[in-house]
Structure 1
């Protein structure tokens, strides 16, 4: 292979590729979990969640492809086996466990929040330690997307809790002053 001369040392590139593969593993595992919940959800919110999760796993699939292509652009090779994904992932599976719809939503937004926290660290490392602003910018875009998805999922669970509330004053307790 010809040397890659993009202003990063081989050590910097390899370190960034490692971070990207860790992110790829988390995204791929989250994609699998989202698809599984898409298949298994039941209850009054079936259609809403079924359609939402299809949108989300399709977006995650595109993100996984983008991450893999960023790895290749840096001269690395993306993980491509379930064994590799499980070894590198920081989020966990829940084998032989089929939660109710609200718990599915909670698990997914918790995973998105976990990935966002990881991405904040990866972004800082890419910028400050590895001098790779391109990857930092790329990961920032992913982070913003995952923050929005986590918010949407949290809002679903919070909305379910509000529907079960008998007091209308409960819904304003967490509002900022003046709203």
Structure 2
């Protein structure tokens, strides 16, 4: 059954497709954060292990809310690794060292990349696609990534 929520069918499809890319980015970032949690080594192992666990738990919730937003719009979210890799603008991790600061630098770059992508698209949801709800949702998502980026940067100062 189609969602009759005051947004054209074409715009709903465009928003859902855009959010599918966001979902892919979030899932890839989640996976990279899980890797950091599992593989971090060094004298700061315990604190970084716990820190990364907190981050991936937050990202797990983000993933769920993005997928539910897509469903709210009457579409189905991508849900396979193949789809995520085709949709994401992030790259998979290729680092050889498992040091905490290295993981933090890479995760920071990904959070900032997602932030830029969200910021570039936020006004289009409200203005071009007539979906103020998704625009508002993306504002909250940006705030999450801004705060997380700040916390990651603080480790590097």
TM range, smaller chain = over 0.9
Which residue of structure 2 aligns with residue 113 of structure 1? Answer: 112
Which residue of structure 1 aligns with residue 13 of structure 2? Answer: 14
Which residue of structure 1 aligns with residue 3 of structure 2? Answer: 4
Q: 2:127 aligns to what SS in structure 1? A: helix
**TM alignment of 1:127-166, pairs within 5 A:** 127-158=126-157
Q: 1:130 aligns to what SS in structure 2? A: coil
Alpha-carbon distance in structure 1 between the residues aligned to 2:13 and 2:31: 27
Which residue of structure 2 aligns with residue 44 of structure 1? Answer: 43
Task: Report deviation, 1:96.
Answer: 6.5
Which residue of structure 2 aligns with residue 165 of structure 1? Answer: none
Alpha-carbon distance in structure 2 between the residues aligned to 1:68 and 1:97: 32
Q: 1:47 aligns to what SS in structure 2? A: helix
Q: 1:155 aligns to what SS in structure 2? A: helix
Which residue of structure 1 aligns with residue 75 of structure 2? Answer: 76
Moved over 4 A (4+): none
**TM alignment of 1:50-61, pairs within 5 A:** 50-61=49-60
Alpha-carbon distance in structure 2 between the residues aligned to 1:76 and 1:137: 19
Alpha-carbon distance in structure 2 between the residues aligned to 1:150 and 1:39: 20
Higher mean C-alpha deviation, range 132-141 or range 91-100: 91-100
Unaligned runs of 5+ in 1: 159-179
Could you state the TM-score of these two structures normalised by the residue count of structure 1? Answer: 0.84
| Number of residues of Structure 1 aligned to a counterpart in Structure 2 | 157
Unaligned runs of 5+ in 2: none
Could you state the TM-score of these two structures normalised by the residue count of structure 2? Answer: 0.96
**TM alignment of 1:94-113, pairs within 5 A:** 94-95=93-94, 97-113=96-112
1:31 is the counterpart of 2:30: yes
